[in-house]
Amino acid sequence: MAERTFVMIKPDGVQRGLIGEIIKRLERVGLKPVAMKFIRMSREQAEKLYAVHKGKPFYESLIEYVTSGPVVVSVREGPKAIEIVRKIIGATDPAKAAPGTIRGDFALDISHNVIHASDSKESFEYEHKIFFSEDEIVKRERIDEKRLI
């Protein structure tokens, strides 16, 4: 059964022209988009998304950063979507991210690491609802998912 995950291309990824490359990497492994938006995140949305970091020394700069420019938010679907996306994006700290991962190839530092993705089913359930209503998530099937008779 297909699983869903939330993915956000952060302002540095958008500013550096990496949207297409990141989307290509996700689609190449079969993670189909079922919802996607190009938005300017509000402070309220940012505070909800990063509520787990409230009170940490970097919290305020993180909120300022993710609201500083446009982002691309999406819901991706596929078998083991959360696990696969986590492998594709690499470690949060780009110094620890493997070459070939999105962060390993493109992140500048731990604060500007290009991408955010859900790390569990629970975080997906919480995160995607900040940006998408259920009627914005499209049920669709890729041609390569159809069974031939």
Nearest to 62 by CA among 75, 73, 48: 48
Helix segments in the chain, DSSP class H: 11-15, 19-28, 43-49, 59-66, 81-89, 102-106, 121-131
For the chain, give me the number of helices (H) and strands (E)? Answer: 7, 4
By annotation, the residues acting in catalysis are 116
The backbone torsions φ and ψ at residue 70, rounded to the nearest 5 degrees and listed phi first, read -65, 155
The backbone torsions φ and ψ at residue 36, rounded to the nearest 5 degrees and listed phi first, read -160, 140
Looking only at the bridges linking them, the beta strands covering 71-78 and 115-117 are: unpaired
